[in-house]
Amino acid sequence: MTEPNSKPDLEDSINVTEAHAKVVRDAAACVRENRIVDNGIGPISLWAMVACGFILLVAGGILGDGGSLFAYGANFRSGYVRTPAGGAADSGPVPKEALVAYSAKGSKIYSAKCNGCHGSDAKGNGSTFPSLVGSAWVNGDTERFAMIILNGLQGPVSNGTTYGVMPPQGIGMAPEDLAGIMTYVRNNFGNTKGDVITTDMAKAAIEISAARKNAGNSVTGEELTADYLKPLPGAVLDPKALLDPITLAPATAP
Amino acid sequence: MSLRTFIFGLAASFGVAWLFIIVVPFIKLRNLEPIRLNEATDGTTGIFYPKRTGRITNGALVYAENGCYLCHSQLIRPTYAGNDLYRSDWAGLKADPDRGDTRRETNIYDFSGEKFAQIGVSRMGPDLSNVGLRVSANYSTGGDPAKWFYDHLYNPRQDPKLWKSTCPPFRFMFSERLITGNPSNDAIAIVDDGKKEILPDSDAQALVSYLLSLKKDQAVPAVLNFAPPKNKG
C-alpha cells in the first residue's frame, strides 16, 4: 500500500460506485444524527416557556404586592390598618368617665412633678410647701390655677402666708398633662370640685401663659388677681361623659 | 472557563444573596433602637423594649432545648397575612377587664434581646405568644397559673378542656421525692399513699417562668399600633 494521495484518481483499485455509495450513506447517517437531541442541549419547547413565564408573572405580582425588596426597616406593609373582627367582638380600650380618665393621667404627672414638694397627700409640709387641700387658688378660677402650675409662684399664697418660691412646671408640659394634673388635684385629696379641665382649656392656658407680660418670672398673687381671675376658655365637658382613657377622645359605651 | 473563574462566580452568586438576605437583616434586627412612648398617644411613658431577665431567660433556653418551637409558634401575623389575630385569645385577650381588646400583631421588638426569635416551625399546638395571659384568664381561673403549667407539663391531658392535646409529657423535668415531715409547697402531686411527692426540677421552673412571661399586653407605641381608628389606643 502506498499513501492514498499519492495515487492518481480513477485508478483501477478505486470503485467509484462503491465510494459514492459510502458518501451517500455517511451523509444519510449525519442527517439522522442531527435529529437526535442530546439531553440538556435541546431547545426549550414553547409550552414550557409559557408555563414558566406564567409562574414568574404570578410570583412577581406577589413579591411586588408584598412591598419593596430589601426594605429592611419596614416590618409591616405600609399603611397597614388591622381589619376589624367580625361582629361587635372588636372593642377598643374600655371607655372611662371623663373625670376618671383625666385624673388617671393627672395622677401620673402628680407623682412625677408635684409629689416631691406638696407630698403624696398634697398637704405640703406647713413651712416651705403649702397645702393644696382646700386651697382657694386650687379650687377657684381655673385660669389662675393654670398660671401657677405653668409659671410657678412667689410671694404670699391665698391664705396670706409666704412659703418658698414654686418653680415653673410648664416647661415641656403637654396640654393633656396640664389638663390631667388640674383635674386630678381639684378632685382628689379632699378637693371635690367635680369639674373636668379639658385638653382644649389646657391648650388655651398654655397660650395665655406664653403671652404673659413678664414671661420667665414666677407669677405673684397681685398679677394673678389682676389678670387671670377667670375660668379658662373652652367648652365645659360633662364629668360623666365617656372618653377613651388613652387619647381622651370621646368614646361610646361598648 | 477556568476553575478560578468558576469558584469566583459561585462565591459571588451565593455570597451576594447571603449578604442581602441574611447578613444585613441580622445586623439590623440585632441592634434595635427602642421606641420612646409618650403619654398623649400611647397612654404611658418610658421605652418600648420588652426585656427578659433571670429565670425567664433560662426558661427561653429550656424552651429551645426541648424543641417546643417545633409545634408551637409565637407569631401573630398582621391581618393581611392570616387570621391569627382573631383566633381565640392567641393574640391577647378579647375583653381584658381594664384595657378592653389587647389583641395585636407580633412585632420585632417582642423578640428583642432574645437569643432565638421563637417564631416556630409548625402549629401542631396553639400559638404561645400570649399563653401566660391566656392561662391566667381562661384555664387556671382562680388558681395559680404556675401550678396549672406544672400540671400541664407533667400530663398535658390532665385539664379536661385539653383532653385532645397531642403535647408530649415532660416528666423528665420532674422528680419524685420521699416525703419527710411536711410535703413541699411546690409539690404538684402526692403519690404512693402520701409517701412521695412530685416536684418540678429547675428546668421545669425556668420553663414555667418563661411561659408565664409570655404576655404581649403592654402599651405599644403609636407607630406599631395598627388598631382600626375607632379602637385606636
- Angle of helix A142-151 relative to helix A175-186, nearest 10 degrees? 120
First vs last Cα of chain A: how many Å apart?
A: 113
Find chain B residues with C-beta within 8 A of A82's C-beta. 78-79, 85, 105, 226-228
Is 80 exceeded by the pLDDT of residue A215? Answer: no
Cross-chain residue pair B99–A93, CB shorter than 8 Å: yes
Q: Which pLDDT belongs to residue A87?
A: 60
Q: Which pLDDT belongs to residue B10?
A: 95
C-alpha to C-alpha distance for A232 and A202, rounded to whole angstroms: 8
Is 80 exceeded by the pLDDT of residue B39? Answer: no
B149 versus B25: the higher-pLDDT residue is B149
Q: Which pLDDT belongs to residue A78?
A: 79
Rounded CA Rg of chain B: 22
Average pLDDT of the residues in B29-49: 81
Cross-chain residue pair B100–A93, CB shorter than 8 Å: yes
C-alpha to C-alpha distance for A145 and B185, rounded to whole angstroms: 56
Nearest CA in chain A to B26: A72
pLDDT band at B83 (very low <50, low <70, confident <90, very high): confident
Cross-chain residue pair A176–B25, CB shorter than 8 Å: no
Average pLDDT of the residues in A20-39: 79
In a domain, A248, yes or no: no
Cross-chain residue pair B228–A246, CB shorter than 8 Å: no
Find chain B residues with C-beta within 8 A of A83's C-beta. 79-80, 228
Q: Which pLDDT belongs to residue A36?
A: 60
- Name the domain count of chain A: 1
A26 versus A65: the higher-pLDDT residue is A26
Find chain A residues with C-beta within 8 A of B78's C-beta. 76-77, 80, 82
Cα B228 to the chain's mean position, in Å? 25
Question: Could you tell me if B70 lies within 8 Å of chain A, comparing CB atoms?
Answer: no
Of residues A188, A176, A90, the one with CA closest to residue A135: A188
pLDDT band at A3 (very low <50, low <70, confident <90, very high): low
Q: Lowest-pLDDT range, A86-100, A115-129, B103-117, B152-166?
A: A86-100
In a domain, A214, yes or no: yes
Best A82, A91, A100, A247 residue to mutate vs chain B (most B CBs within 10 Å):
A82
Out of A77-81, A231-235, B57-61, B78-82, give the one with best mean pLDDT. B57-61
C-alpha to C-alpha distance for A247 and B43, rounded to whole angstroms: 7
For chain B, where are the E strands, in sequence order? 35-37, 46-48, 174-178, 189-191, 196-200
A230 versus B232: the higher-pLDDT residue is A230
Q: Which three cell numbers stand for residue A25?
A: 450513506
Helix (H) or strand (E) holding A154: strand A153-154
Q: Answer positive or negative: Cα dihedral of A236, A241, A246, A250.
A: negative
Which residues are paired to B47 by β-bridges? B36
Question: Could you tell me if A108 lies within 8 Å of chain B, comparing CB atoms?
Answer: yes
Question: Could you tell me if B227 lies within 8 Å of chain A, comparing CB atoms?
Answer: yes
Question: Could you tell me if A73 lies within 8 Å of chain B, comparing CB atoms?
Answer: yes
Q: Which three cell numbers stand for residue A55?
A: 409562574
Average pLDDT of the residues in A185-214: 84
Question: Could you tell me if B84 lies within 8 Å of chain A, comparing CB atoms?
Answer: no
Average pLDDT of the residues in A235-247: 80
The answer to whether residues B186 and B149 touch, using CB atoms and an 8 Å cutoff, is: no
A223 versus B144: the higher-pLDDT residue is B144
Average pLDDT of the residues in B67-92: 89
Average pLDDT of the residues in A59-76: 77
A35 versus A147: the higher-pLDDT residue is A147
In a domain, A155, yes or no: yes
Domain residue limits at A122: 96-243
Number of Cβ atoms within 10 Å of the Cβ of B45: 13
C-alpha to C-alpha distance for B179 and B202, rounded to whole angstroms: 19
pLDDT band at B233 (very low <50, low <70, confident <90, very high): very low
In a domain, A32, yes or no: no
Question: Could you tell me if B209 lies within 8 Å of chain A, comparing CB atoms?
Answer: no
Q: Which three cell numbers stand for residue A158?
A: 391665698
Give me chain B's average pLDDT, please: 88
The answer to whether residues B119 and B73 touch, using CB atoms and an 8 Å cutoff, is: yes
Q: Which pLDDT belongs to residue A38?
A: 65
Question: Could you tell me if B157 lies within 8 Å of chain A, comparing CB atoms?
Answer: no
Nearest CA in chain A to B85: A85
Burial string for A15-50 (b: 16+ CB within 10 Å, else e) reads eeeeeeeeeeeeeeeeeeeeeeeeeeeeeeeeeeee
B55 versus B96: the higher-pLDDT residue is B55
Average pLDDT of the residues in B176-186: 89
Q: Phi-psi bin for B166: left (phi > 0), alpha (psi -120 to 50), beta? A: alpha
C-alpha to C-alpha distance for A77 and A108, rounded to whole angstroms: 35
Q: Which pLDDT belongs to residue B55?
A: 92
Q: Which three cell numbers stand for residue B68?
A: 417546643
Question: Could you tell me if A83 lies within 8 Å of chain B, comparing CB atoms?
Answer: yes
Average pLDDT of the residues in B63-78: 94
| CATH dotted code for B36-146+203-231 | 1.10.760
The CATH number covering residue A236 comes to 1.10.760.10
In a domain, A53, yes or no: no
Burial string for B177-207 (b: 16+ CB within 10 Å, else e) reads eeeeeeeeeebbbeeeeeebbbbbeebbbbb
Best A72, A90, A100 residue to mutate vs chain B (most B CBs within 10 Å):
A90
Q: Which pLDDT belongs to residue A196?
A: 84
B143 versus A9: the higher-pLDDT residue is B143
Q: Phi-psi bin for A155: left (phi > 0), alpha (psi -120 to 50), beta? A: left
Is 70 exceeded by the pLDDT of residue A9? Answer: no
Average pLDDT of the residues in A148-157: 84
Is 60 exceeded by the pLDDT of residue A8? Answer: no
The answer to whether residues B197 and B185 touch, using CB atoms and an 8 Å cutoff, is: no
Is 60 exceeded by the pLDDT of residue A1? Answer: no
C-alpha to C-alpha distance for B132 and B93, rounded to whole angstroms: 11
Q: Domain coordinates of chain B in residue numbers?
A: 36-146+203-231
In a domain, A171, yes or no: yes
Is 80 exceeded by the pLDDT of residue A71? Answer: no
Of residues B131, B132, B135, B130, the one with CA closest to residue B216: B130
Cross-chain residue pair B100–A244, CB shorter than 8 Å: no
Find chain B residues with C-beta within 8 A of A66's C-beta. none
> Considering CB atoms only, which of B43, B86, B230 is closest to A245?
B43
What 8-state DSSP symbol labels residue A196? Answer: B
- Work out how many CB contacts closer than 8 A connect A with B: 87
List pLDDT tens digits, range A82-123.
887 766 555 566 778 888 888 888 888 888 888 888 888 888
C-alpha to C-alpha distance for B61 and B51, rounded to whole angstroms: 15
What own/partner pairs with CB < 8 Å and gap ≥ 24 does B153-159 have?
Answer: B153/B200, B153/B204, B153/B207, B153/B208, B154/B188, B154/B189, B154/B198
Nearest CA in chain A to B44: A246
Q: Which amino acid is at A159?
A: N
Helix (H) or strand (E) holding A219: strand A219-220
Is 80 exceeded by the pLDDT of residue B122? Answer: yes
Is 60 exceeded by the pLDDT of residue A198? Answer: yes
Q: Which pLDDT belongs to residue A62?
A: 84
Q: Which three cell numbers stand for residue A62?
A: 406577589
pLDDT band at B124 (very low <50, low <70, confident <90, very high): very high
Cross-chain residue pair A94–B41, CB shorter than 8 Å: no
Find chain A residues with C-beta within 8 A of B95's C-beta. 91
Number of Cβ atoms within 10 Å of the Cβ of B166: 10
Q: Which three cell numbers stand for residue B1?
A: 472557563
Give me chain A's average pLDDT, please: 80
Average pLDDT of the residues in B96-117: 83
